[in-house]
Structure 1
Amino acid sequence: MATLKALVVDDASFVRDLVKRTIRQRFPVIETTDAQNGRRAQSLMSRGMFDLILCDWEMPEMSGLELLQWMRQQPQYEKVPFIMITSRGDKSHVIEAVKEGVSEYLGKPFSPDGLSKKIIKVMGSTLTTAMGQSGKSMAGPADAFKESAALLTQKREPAPAQESQPTPTAGALVPQSAEVPKPTMAKGAMSLASIRFADSTLKSVVKDINLTEVRVIAKRDQTFPGILDQAVVDIETGEGQMARLNGYVHQLQAVDKRKDADFVSVTIRFVDEDPKKMEDLSRFIARFRAGKR
């Protein structure tokens, strides 16, 4: 029986399901509730009490940072653990979150093991005691991501065009993805993209892109992910703005019909449901297609 309660906050239902599945499999004493943005999370937190908050940074209506700021002003939530799970990994944002009272920071993409370690770290004896009283151990399934294949392959309608990481002490918390490679727009139709996975980063060239997926070409001498692996696509959308799009690996294919092909085509399906990200992506797509003419 669950004795602890966690609130999972992210605008992408795929990510919420991924986090909830990992918690359910590895920590059966934790009951999960989810919210699609900070405003909804604030409403749920005002009506009930949660022992752990796992929250994305970039969300419509109310961001993760705004939710954290509000939460730390509430006496009942002043010391409740808050884990920020986000693709925003630059050091300045980490320091900003630390100053506002974040408990831990987990960069996307993350592994079930990475998420589990953060939960164990911030909940400490509270979680250990609850697991002990229930007769459960901390051990969980080998990989909760592989059990999420059904979630990953569900049909998704196009959106409208509109980590071993340090302890969170001010000035010291730097996530695994703190130094995110910055892709740049090249001349003509060529656009570079960095695709981040839990344990590697793939340098690639964008060949085609729409609001639901991107197809890139990458040299074979790099470390490649597996089908269904979680990914974050970093693309410069213009004027110094960076789009960090969450997704998963949908397809891997050799570019040439040769066993020794030098290039591999990788298709990433997007899972973000944030209208702002879709607007940024729409602008990039327009520029990308204009450059191909």
Structure 2
Amino acid sequence: MAILKALVVDDASFVRDLVKRTVRQRFPVIETTDAQNGRRAQSLMSRTSFDLVLCDWEMPEMSGLELLQWMRQQPQYQKVPFIMITSRGDKDHVIEAVKEGVSEYLGKPFSPDGLSKKIIKVMGRRLKDAMDRSGKSLEGPAEAFKESAALLTQKREAPASRPEASKPEPVADNPLLNAGSAKAATGKPQTRGVMSMASVRFSDSTLKSVVKDINLTEVRVIAKRDQEFPGILDQAVVDIDMGDGQMARLNGYVHQLQAVDKRQDTDFVSVTIRFVDEDPKKLEDLSRFVARFRASNR
């Protein structure tokens, strides 16, 4: 029987399902409710009391940061753990979230173990006692429990060890961009001017690749075979250079993996990522990139 209540907030149903499944499997004493954006979450939190909030940053109507700011102004939620789960992992955003009272920060894509460790860390003794009363064992590293609510007791600044968001490696340094590789990967010679780079992040690796095709539903990238590849349905965050110093971070999952050609020793693999974001701003950015990509590849 569930003893604690958690609210899962994300505009992508695929991500909400992943979070809820992990919580259900690892912590059966936690009952989960979900919301598709901050506004809906605010409404639920006004009617029901929650012991934990796991929330995305970028969402339509009300962002995760705005929800956090509202939450910390409510007496009943001032000390309730809030875990920000987002693809925005750069130092400035981490600092901003910490200043607003975030309990922990988890980057997308995340692993079940990574999410579990964060939950143990922020819930501390309360979760352990609930699991003990239910006769269940608390999974996860012992040190995660000992560090319970560490961010709330530490100095309000981002740790220097936090990794920044992945960035596509420079054009000149990427082996995919030499003429021979471009021809092998795409079936026809291409110039550097039409090549669009993308870093595809997974829970424990990053795939450097070239965008072969893209639309509002999915992106197909070509990557060298000597890298670490994901599995089908693995979470992914696609970082695309939009130009003018802007980076689009699109959430999705691996839909297809296949060799670029029929040779068993092919050097390149095609990876198709299906997008799951429903944020209008992200879709607008994606639309602009798709239009520019198609215009440059006519």
Alignment partner, residue 126 of structure 2: 126
Q: CA separation of 1:181/1:251 partners in 2, compared to 1, >3 Å: closer, same or farther?
A: same
The amino acid that maps onto 2:73 is Q
Q: For residues 38 and 7 of structure 2, what CA distance do their matches in structure 1 show?
A: 11
Q: For residues 27 and 174 of structure 1, what CA distance do their matches in structure 2 show?
A: 31
Task: Quote the RMSD (CA, aligned, Å).
Answer: 1.8
Do structure 1's residue 172 and structure 2's residue 153 form an aligned pair?
no
Of residues 181-190 and 52-61 in structure 1, the stretch that sits farther from structure 2 once superposed is 181-190
Alignment partner, residue 4 of structure 2: 4
The amino acid that maps onto 1:181 is K
Q: CA separation of 1:106/1:31 partners in 2, compared to 1, >3 Å: closer, same or farther?
A: same
The amino acid that maps onto 1:263 is F
Q: CA separation of 1:179/1:269 partners in 2, compared to 1, >3 Å: closer, same or farther?
A: closer
| Partner SS for 1:70 | helix
Between structures 1 and 2, the one with greater helix share: 2
Q: CA separation of 1:257/1:167 partners in 2, compared to 1, >3 Å: closer, same or farther?
A: farther
Alignment partner, residue 283 of structure 1: 288
Gap regions ≥5 residues in structure 1? 141-165
The 5 Å alignment of 1:198-209 reads: 198-209=203-214
Alignment partner, residue 104 of structure 1: 104
| Partner SS for 1:188 | helix
Higher relative contact order (CA 8 A, sep 6+): 1
Of residues 23-32 and 232-241 in structure 1, the stretch that sits farther from structure 2 once superposed is 232-241
Of residues 183-192 and 31-40 in structure 1, the stretch that sits farther from structure 2 once superposed is 183-192
How many percent identity over aligned positions? 81
Alignment partner, residue 78 of structure 2: 78
Do structure 1's residue 267 and structure 2's residue 272 form an aligned pair?
yes
The 5 Å alignment of 1:49-60 reads: 49-60=49-60
TM-score, structure 2 normalization = 0.86
Alignment partner, residue 182 of structure 2: none
8 Å contact 2:233–2:255 — kept in the other structure? yes
8 Å contact 1:245–1:272 — kept in the other structure? yes
Q: Please list every run of at least 4 consecutive aligned residues from structure 1 whose deviation after the TM superposition is greater than 4 angstroms.
A: 174-177, 183-187
Q: For residues 139 and 69 of structure 1, what CA distance do their matches in structure 2 show?
A: 31
Larger-gyration structure (1/2): 2
Alignment partner, residue 219 of structure 2: 214
TM-fit CA distance, 1:24 = 0.8
- What do residues 119-163 of structure 1 show as CA deviations (whole Å, max 9, x unaligned)? 0110001000001101111249xxxxxxxxxxxxxxxxxxxxxxx
TM-score, structure 1 normalization = 0.87
Q: CA separation of 1:196/1:167 partners in 2, compared to 1, >3 Å: closer, same or farther?
A: farther
Q: For residues 139 and 268 of structure 1, what CA distance do their matches in structure 2 show?
A: 31
Q: For residues 172 and 267 of structure 1, what CA distance do their matches in structure 2 show?
A: 34
| Partner SS for 1:244 | strand
8 Å contact 2:168–2:208 — kept in the other structure? no
TM-fit CA distance, 1:187 = 4.6
Alignment partner, residue 232 of structure 2: 227
Do structure 1's residue 35 and structure 2's residue 35 form an aligned pair?
yes
Alignment partner, residue 135 of structure 2: 135
8 Å contact 2:201–2:207 — kept in the other structure? yes
Q: CA separation of 1:21/1:72 partners in 2, compared to 1, >3 Å: closer, same or farther?
A: same
Q: For residues 174 and 242 of structure 1, what CA distance do their matches in structure 2 show?
A: 22
Q: For residues 184 and 36 of structure 1, what CA distance do their matches in structure 2 show?
A: 36
The amino acid that maps onto 2:229 is F
TM-fit CA distance, 1:172 = 3.3
TM-fit CA distance, 1:258 = 1.2
Aligned residues: 268
TM-fit CA distance, 1:180 = 1.8
Alignment partner, residue 238 of structure 1: 243
Q: CA separation of 1:35/1:53 partners in 2, compared to 1, >3 Å: closer, same or farther?
A: same
Alignment partner, residue 63 of structure 2: 63
TM-fit CA distance, 1:34 = 0.6
- What do residues 63-108 of structure 1 show as CA deviations (whole Å, max 9, x unaligned)? 1001111111111101000000000000000001001100000000
